[in-house]
Structure 1
Amino acid sequence: MAEQRRPGANGAAVPEHVLVVFPGYHRSWAAWIAQCLERHGHRATLQRWDPPREVALEDSLGDLLLASGRVLLVLNDWFFELGPRPPGEWNDALRGFVAAHADRFAAVNLTNRPLLPATAVLEPASLWALSEEAAEERLLRRLGLEPLTRPRALPDRIRYPDERCEIWGEVPRRNPRFTGRDDLLGELHQRLADAERGAAACTLVGMSGIGKTQLAAEYAHRFSTDYDLVWWVNSDDRTIQRDRLGELAVELGLRIGSEPGERIRAVRNALRRGEPYANWLLVFDGWDDIDGVTALLPQGTGHVLVTSRNRGWSEHTDVLEIPTFVRAESTGYLMRRAPHITAREADEVAAEFGDVPLPLVQAASWLGESGMEVDEYLRMVRERRLSTVDEPVTGEGFPQSSLTSWAILLNRLRRSQPQAIDVLGLCTSFAPGRIPLGLIRAYPRAELPEELRWMSADLPAWTRALDTLVNYSVLTRETRGPLAAEAGPHQESVHMHRLVHDIVSKLTGDNGGDLHRRAVRTLLAEADPGNPADSRNWPRYAELLPHLQPSGALESRQPRVQELVLNCLRYCTRSGEYSGGLELAQQVRERWSRFMDPIDQPMLDLATQEGNMLRNRGRFRELYELHRGVLKQLRAAPRHNEIGELVSKSAIASGLRSLGRYQEAYDLQREVLDGNERLLGQDQPPTLVARHNLAVTLRMLGRYAEALDLDLETLARGESVLRARHINTLHSGNAVTHSLRLLGRYREALARQEPVVRLHVQVLGPQHPQTLEARSQLAMCRRREGGPGPDVGPAMAALLDQLIQLHGREHYRTLSFITNYGNFLREHGDLSQARDLIDEAEAGYRSLLGPAHPVATGMLSNTGLVMQAAGERAEALSMFESALAGLTATLGPDHPWVLGCALNAAGARNLNGRIEDAVELSRDTLRRVRHTLGHEHPLTLSCQVALAADLRAAHEQEEAGKLEEDALLALTRSLGAQHPHTISARQRVRPYWDFEAYLG
């Protein structure tokens, strides 16, 4: 088919030109239409159009005709609200001016709702619900343009607007009344497009009620064709934020477990790589707490949009300050919502509310719903302003007049729709933001107060009340999940802006508050899945947790509600939300202590969860003091609670172990195990945990063979009782490997740990904290075994990065691996980085534990090894002697750590010319290590090789030769002829011992 052209001045054919006129919210359609025209050889110009009310409509339409070619209007029913103008004015313009220039105007229609009658003059081509191919054909036919047989290929294809992104994650419904802000949206789009790759992040900053969330939602809808993935993350609450971000892992098809930290890391890695989607947009709504922001903020090929009141975001992202409406936006919005008011009246209302969007929305809703005249409305606002409340609700410059406006609305609802006030009171007993009101329908048998039972029994009344609040813009409806449009009432949730929540709470006071809070507590308790250990329940707990405090659940005396609170704490422990969980636990303790005895069972359960989180945060002294106080109270009680005492003793033993008081910890843990076996039996979970902890303590004491026996027993019983894939059984598998490795059985340890890690990854995912612990153990097995296999260095470097992301650099588990990696680097020649890492770990442990702690003392030996490798012999000797003296004083002369330090100190004495002292120390060390670890342990054989070297330096060749020969035979027999230890001994390289920092 021939391409249609109009002749130019010289007779040559030239392309048609089309001016595509659109309201801002149809930018994506206009861009797609322009692309279609360009593909078929024509020119298109985009013209955003929002004609001012004060300009006659014929004049604004006439301005469009100044462009050459056809004018294509992109229509829907809201198009005719532009201005805004009464329908009659549009009909007159269409019948008159447009009809007179019908050859210049054309239109496409994007809605199935009826348009103004006179729109017929435009003969709009409907693109509603068409495929892309059909829409393109209809567009060209309406403009009288012949399609090219082979359309041009354009470099960047614009997605057809009716094609949803591949992943569209809970973006709020588009607000059909969104007005103005086009310049802001354009600037935001430009900033993100122009940002450097990997750093395209912008934060919308402004006071509450300024419209940040609405602007972010409109951006996501308006520019959705730019992205393959759009994901919305409610960020008011850190727990919900992390859970929501982690949910994206499932949508991306990432094969990981359910632990939030693990999911977040997997998501961030996928986004950074741009796999499977390079064009993505993540929106973090309401992110005010920016502590730890770098662990969550994604980087990569896509865009990040944040809304916040916190101006500290300027240190992390580009910042766009959101101002109030310009007056034209304010008046336009008011006149659309309340068509009966004039431009002058709209201007007066806008001035009264300072052009702040949120109070303008409420004012427009009131005027539109009530039909009240503006003079009367403003008189009510102004007369009641001083008598409503004395101070603004917030210190953010929110207009005082808006409080009066809200008071007027509430008074009207009390008279005309009291049930809506009940629903509103119920909402203020939840936290602001997303409110799961569907719980009322989901749990109809919940024991609601009699005055509120209509909510679950009378669905029409419930719907009317909710519709009223939505119509007055007090609430907006939300639904979760991919089938949101089909969600039933039991799945429904609403969104209540934080500022609306504050205002309504202040104005309603405590009128019915106790009643509503009791109802919410009851519903939350009914919604408790009851098993926080099951990761499938974690999203529900993340949803319930923010509402505990505002509902009064933390103060409740109802056992069912108290169990909900404890289960939320258990969820925090299991999911790794230690900071938020610890803060919650302390809030609960402060409230429960007012009416509950410290030794009541809920308080004991609370202490257990608080202690777990203190330990996981590395706050060992607080853990110890907390449970020491609990044990004291239990012992003073008139009734003996032996199980309670055993639980507290176990926590105290854990604290003692971490504080370096190993023998005390052992004695107490032995008592715990004996008590559990006597009272509960050998196979109950608490007994298995007690046996595991006793083995941990034995390892700290250097009694590795005894620890292995207990570990093997615990593993066998766990596999029988809990099964092989239970998290505690997996933990026992790690423990067995650790004991084997400390016993020098490196090959056996490696053979065991490889399947243990595979099972961890299958069950918990590759980034779960316990999986990282198992992978750390595997890395050390490979290092000690010394045979061919994966390159240990890069694997350790990658694992260290993951530990830092999970725990931070100052956490005790991270410090442990920093130590191990630093020792590895020193051993393989990277002395500079090794020194940095060992110095960092030594300082970290000294700060965390104090300088006298055995681990902090043992780190001196690692520092000495770095100094010795750098040629600083005297300084190294001083470090070794300090470590030896300190550990001997705290652990006794026969502990393996002490013997390792003695090995290093003897070598340093030799290097510094103190041969006799070296021989004396080496001889004593060999005697002790044989007694402690046996004759063929690698440390024993290293001490034997070292003594031979010292004897040789003292010219006692015969004894040296005999010792060396025996050691080489034993090393070959136990480790193999090609093991690095054996080769080094054969080459007469002085053996050394590096300290593995370990807190159990």
Structure 2
Amino acid sequence: MQAPSEPLQWPQVVGSPPTTALPFQERAEVRERIERERNRHATVVLTQVLRGGGGVGKSQLAAKLAWEALDGGTDLVVWVNAAYPGQVVAEYAAAARRVEARGADGQDAEADARAFLNWLAGTQRRWLVVLDDVGDPEALAGWWPPASLQGRGRVLATTRRRDAELFDGRAKVEVEGYTSAEAVAYLEGRLTKAGADHLRDGTQAELATTLGLLPLALSHAAAYMINEDVGCGQYLRLFQDRHRLLDEVLPAGAGRDGHGRQVAAALLLSLDAAQGAEPVGLAVPALRLIAHLDPAGHPRDLWRCGAVLRYLRAHREPRRRLLWRRPTTGPEQARAVLRLLHRYGLITDDSAHGPRAVRLHALTARAARETVPGRDVSATVRATAEGLEELWPELDQTDPDLAAVLRSNTSALAACAEDTVWADEDARLLLWRTGKSLLDAGAFTTAFVYWEDLTEQAGRRLGQGDRHTLLARNNLASAYGAAGRVKDAIALQERGLADCEQELGSRHRATLIARANLGVSYQQAGRISEALAVLEQAAADRERHLGTGHPDFENSLVNLAPCYWHVGRTDEAIQMLERINKGRGRADDPNTLTVRYVLAQSYQLARRTHEAIRLMERVIADRERQLGPDHPETLAARGSLAACYLEDERSREAITLLEPNVADWTRLHGPQHPSTVSSRAHLANAYWKAGRRAEGIGLLETVVADRRRLFPPSHPETVKMAATLRQWQREHRSRRR
């Protein structure tokens, strides 16, 4: 039994709101407009969209409002990086688990996100949701927080976009740079706080104007002046020299929003200084790599990854170029350069933000990327991709928050260096890893869109016959199958297998995988004879080309077992599975658990019920420990254990397992998913055997109707259930007479 959880403590903060900059420069005019709109909507949910160009301080203003809301008694603040739609779902899902929203179990991200929106609509708690840096208004359309009871909720969004749909029914607040007085006050406040009033030389107003009154550029300038002990006038001259140089080296399209050159010039001054500070020569390559990641943050552990350390060593500039040996560049130096960049205000490095500890402003990132020499882009992208891949957990379920952050960082890398990512095979495979992660997270709707887009891009960039295109199409089919769309999966897999055979040959691993997956889908659809033929061929091919000890060959045999059940070869399936299981070791290996799960099912079908129960109970315990109590594979095992209990005349225990199991499947995947329908069939059987015959008949009637909609009428399980239903109905009528 699980220990009772601690009572939920309020207030709660979900996500990572930026720490308020000190000193924080108040912006009276903007605050007045925000408060005016808020007071006009005192009894309904107020959604305000802070719109402005990059670097004008939208996120800092939103963060200030978020922390003030907490101080003012708000119970829940959720900070969402809204640049990528998938991250919105991930943060909402995390919030659902934090507030213990009804129906949120941590296994299906989209279901949990919906549960959180429902919680917002019904709670009496005061809440604030911040959607920072909205990048795709169309993709966000279904994820805006709803109206809440008694106007207890509030939504803030920040964006650079001007799309009309962003402001439909929402209050728009335009945010521009500081006023002249605010800019001077900010600059002087920073210098005073640092004990550097001697750097004020009467040119503060001219410097602020030259920097475009832009908060981000002023922040870079203040950090440089403080660290380098440079007065305002001297900094102004340095800045003007750098600005003229940028006109020669920056791309023509840089700074389209009017702020790029001010930020870039201020950034490069700070970066020059940081490059010469200890650890010497690392600031430039480190910032270039960070600039290709999600501005909302990435894990510190990335800077311990081998690929990232190799990149830093290769691109580090020694103090004197005549040195014959480069200085040591290891995890300690990588950690030191993060603190150095933090000190110069180029990034924020704060462990309080967990897997988003290292972050920077999006405009700083863009300015840094625009000055990267073309010859260095590929190496930077490759190191970033390999570092993210190295960090990815073997099972996403062991650290779902980290997996969500890695997905958003992959999206950021692909968005800012798309062509380079696709040109590098190792970097490209990270896109495939992200798609698999979406499926593991149960974000099926997002996964469909992702894999459809990836398949289209792969076909266009690599060619329809390229193995990566074929693998993408196969993964799209897997996404269909995971959501119960077996017909769609089969159609795609049949085409994919034919293409693999034609383009890659029958021996290629992608072809072997495609054939095995098609056989599994045939089996799920009840096309047993076709499944048996395809899976036996897949097993023979793998035995011939890979050998009997290869995991793929053993997986083919495991896939064959359910087909053997249907054709009276259960004993053969048991002998095969026992042989495989004997050679397996770790119970925490997912493939080992699958072998034992299918073996336990085989024992049940062979009427070796006690052996089936013992083994299935072990499988459930291992899956609960490894995957969580509500993971789909755990639920499937629990349903199979209930079926074993029924065989052992333990119908009450079976019902105790099955009733919550049906509710969980329905919540996770909806009432029409094949696994949900199967769990209801098990429950109907348990009701019948427990003497609750009317309930059993009523439930089985809905199961048969659902199966006839989902599968062909000739599906063996559908035929069997329909016959059982007719028998029950006859027996029930005869008893009533």
Q: How does 1:36-115 map to 2 (within 5 A)?
A: none
The Cα shift of 1:515 comes to 0.7
Alpha-carbon distance between aligned partners in 2 of 1:665 and 1:523, rounded to the nearest angstrom: 42
The residue that corresponds to 1:522 in the other structure is 383
The Cα shift of 1:614 comes to 4.1
The residue that corresponds to 1:206 in the other structure is 51
DSSP-derived class of the 1:766 partner: coil
Moved more, 743-752 or 318-327: 743-752
Alpha-carbon distance between aligned partners in 2 of 1:712 and 1:268, rounded to the nearest angstrom: 47
Alpha-carbon distance between aligned partners in 1 of 2:471 and 2:596, rounded to the nearest angstrom: 28
The residue that corresponds to 1:39 in the other structure is none
The Cα shift of 1:607 comes to 5.9
Q: How does 1:692-711 map to 2 (within 5 A)?
A: 692-697=558-563, 703=566, 705-706=568-569, 710=573
Alpha-carbon distance between aligned partners in 1 of 2:348 and 2:296, rounded to the nearest angstrom: 11
C-alpha change, 1:166 and 1:249, in structure 2 (3 Å) is: same
The Cα shift of 1:428 comes to 3.1
DSSP-derived class of the 2:348 partner: strand
CA contact (8 A) 1:335 1:343 kept: no
The residue that corresponds to 2:394 in the other structure is 532
Alpha-carbon distance between aligned partners in 1 of 2:357 and 2:513, rounded to the nearest angstrom: 41
Moved more, 426-435 or 242-251: 242-251
The residue that corresponds to 1:144 in the other structure is none
1:261 correspondence with 2:109: yes
Alpha-carbon distance between aligned partners in 2 of 1:720 and 1:185, rounded to the nearest angstrom: 71
Choose the corresponding residue for 1:501, options 358, 365, 370. Answer: 365
Letter of the 1:261 partner, please give it: A
Choose the corresponding residue for 2:421, options 554, 558, 570. Answer: 554
1:349 correspondence with 2:209: yes
The residue that corresponds to 2:316 in the other structure is 452
CA contact (8 A) 2:464 2:470 kept: no
The Cα shift of 1:764 comes to 1.9
The Cα shift of 1:668 comes to 0.9
Choose the corresponding residue for 2:25, options 179, 189, 194. Answer: 179
C-alpha change, 1:719 and 1:616, in structure 2 (3 Å) is: farther
Unaligned 5+ residue runs, structure 1? 1-162, 485-490, 846-853, 859-886, 904-937, 947-980, 989-1000
C-alpha change, 1:312 and 1:423, in structure 2 (3 Å) is: same
Letter of the 2:260 partner, please give it: L
Alpha-carbon distance between aligned partners in 2 of 1:284 and 1:708, rounded to the nearest angstrom: 57
The residue that corresponds to 2:668 in the other structure is 806
CA contact (8 A) 1:649 1:668 kept: yes
Alpha-carbon distance between aligned partners in 2 of 1:166 and 1:243, rounded to the nearest angstrom: 17
Alpha-carbon distance between aligned partners in 2 of 1:619 and 1:729, rounded to the nearest angstrom: 27
1:236 correspondence with 2:86: no
CA contact (8 A) 1:165 1:224 kept: yes
1:789 correspondence with 2:652: yes
The Cα shift of 1:211 comes to 3.2
Choose the corresponding residue for 1:587, options 451, 454, 457. Answer: 454
The residue that corresponds to 1:914 in the other structure is none
The residue that corresponds to 2:321 in the other structure is none
C-alpha change, 1:814 and 1:174, in structure 2 (3 Å) is: same
Letter of the 1:497 partner, please give it: H
Q: How does 1:691-770 map to 2 (within 5 A)?
A: 691-697=557-563, 703=566, 705-706=568-569, 710=573, 714=577, 717-718=580-581, 721=584, 726-728=589-591, 730-731=593-594, 757=620, 760-770=623-633
Q: How does 1:587-736 map to 2 (within 5 A)?
A: 587=454, 590=457, 598=465, 609-618=475-484, 620=486, 623-624=489-490, 627-628=493-494, 631-632=497-498, 635-636=501-502, 641=507, 644-657=510-523, 661-676=527-542, 685-697=551-563, 703=566, 705-706=568-569, 710=573, 714=577, 717-718=580-581, 721=584, 726-728=589-591, 730-731=593-594
Rg comparison, structure with higher value: 1
Letter of the 2:421 partner, please give it: L
DSSP-derived class of the 1:307 partner: strand
Alpha-carbon distance between aligned partners in 2 of 1:456 and 1:165, rounded to the nearest angstrom: 48
1:635-687 deviation digits (Å, cap 9, x = unpaired): 45797626554322112223444566443223212222344456666675434
CA contact (8 A) 1:569 1:585 kept: no
Letter of the 1:215 partner, please give it: L
CA contact (8 A) 1:268 1:299 kept: no
Alpha-carbon distance between aligned partners in 2 of 1:285 and 1:691, rounded to the nearest angstrom: 49
Q: Which has the higher contact order (CA 8 A, sep 6+)?
A: 2
TM-score for both structures, normalised by structure 1: 0.52
Alpha-carbon distance between aligned partners in 2 of 1:413 and 1:366, rounded to the nearest angstrom: 5
DSSP-derived class of the 1:372 partner: helix
The Cα shift of 1:794 comes to 12
CA contact (8 A) 1:234 1:285 kept: yes
TM-score for both structures, normalised by structure 2: 0.67
The Cα shift of 1:349 comes to 3.2
DSSP-derived class of the 1:434 partner: coil
CA contact (8 A) 2:108 2:668 kept: no
The residue that corresponds to 2:4 in the other structure is none
C-alpha change, 1:755 and 1:252, in structure 2 (3 Å) is: farther
Q: Report percent identity of matched pairs.
A: 18
Q: How does 1:466-481 map to 2 (within 5 A)?
A: 475-481=346-352
Alpha-carbon distance between aligned partners in 1 of 2:699 and 2:214, rounded to the nearest angstrom: 55
Alpha-carbon distance between aligned partners in 1 of 2:683 and 2:349, rounded to the nearest angstrom: 49
C-alpha change, 1:939 and 1:243, in structure 2 (3 Å) is: closer
DSSP-derived class of the 2:233 partner: coil
How many residues of Structure 1 are paired with residues of Structure 2 in the alignment? Answer: 680
The residue that corresponds to 1:217 in the other structure is 63
Choose the corresponding residue for 1:333, options 186, 191, 194. Answer: 186
**Higher helix proportion:** 2
1:904-963 deviation digits (Å, cap 9, x = unpaired): xxxxxxxxxxxxxxxxxxxxxxxxxxxxxxxxxx67965xx95xxxxxxxxxxxxxxxxx
CA contact (8 A) 1:188 1:320 kept: no
Task: Calculate the aligned-residue CA RMSD, in Å.
Answer: 6.4
Alpha-carbon distance between aligned partners in 2 of 1:632 and 1:725, rounded to the nearest angstrom: 36
Alpha-carbon distance between aligned partners in 2 of 1:520 and 1:434, rounded to the nearest angstrom: 17
DSSP-derived class of the 1:649 partner: helix
Moved more, 526-535 or 163-172: 163-172
C-alpha change, 1:513 and 1:496, in structure 2 (3 Å) is: farther
CA contact (8 A) 1:259 1:575 kept: yes
